[in-house]
Amino acid sequence: MILYHGSNIVVKSPKIVTPNRGIDFGKGFYTTTNREQAAAFARKVVARKGGQPLVSVYQFDEALAYKQLKLLSFDGVSDTWFDFVLNCRRGNEPTEAVDCVYGAVANDDVYLTIQLYETGVLSIEQAKEQLKVKKLFNQLVFKTAESLKYLIYTDRLEVDHAAS
């Protein structure tokens, strides 16, 4: 499987990063199978921090890795996914030991829906219904040093500053 990571630097040797705010799946190294999603994230990083938008490319042997690693996988927008993202974004990352987490990205539209739920504007059923109609891309988050051993850097891609 080919995976992408968007940033303002090339990341040849990924590391587990503890974010300074609550994000979808908590601490880890975030990747996606969607090249354009990684490019869009690289542009966001550059807008905040400067630099050149870049996408690092990796090879990941999922068949081998998943035999050795503990994977938490979410299929679309489910109650479990919603609760997990909500807890991580609140800074309450579940302590269950997993090596990788796979699931949908809670993009800015999704985050707004979550905020509306948290403030009581939407019920949990309404929030999940809204999320089901959003086009959600995927993310595979590497959460342990052991999991990073299966991620092999292969290339870097330069990204236009403007969205295509």
pLDDT by residue, tens only, the chain of 164 residues: 999 999 999 999 999 988 777 778 889 999 999 999 999 999 999 999 999 999 999 999 999 999 999 999 998 778 888 888 888 888 888 767 899 999 988 666 667 887 888 889 988 788 877 776 556 688 999 999 999 999 999 999 999 877 64
Helix-strand-coil split of the chain, %, nearest 5: 35, 25, 40
Q: Which two tokens stand for residue 30?
A: 């975030």
Q: What are the DSSP E strand ranges found in the chain? A: 2-7, 29-31, 54-60, 71-73, 100-104, 138-142, 151-158
* 155 SS3 class: strand
Q: Residue 93 has what pLDDT?
A: 83
Domain range summary for the chain, segments of one domain joined by +: 2-158
Rounded CA-CA distance 74/37 in Å is 19
Phi and psi at residue 41, in whole multiples of 5°?
-65, -40
Residue 136 vs residues 23, 29, 51, 104, 154: alpha-carbon distances, Å: 15, 19, 27, 6, 26
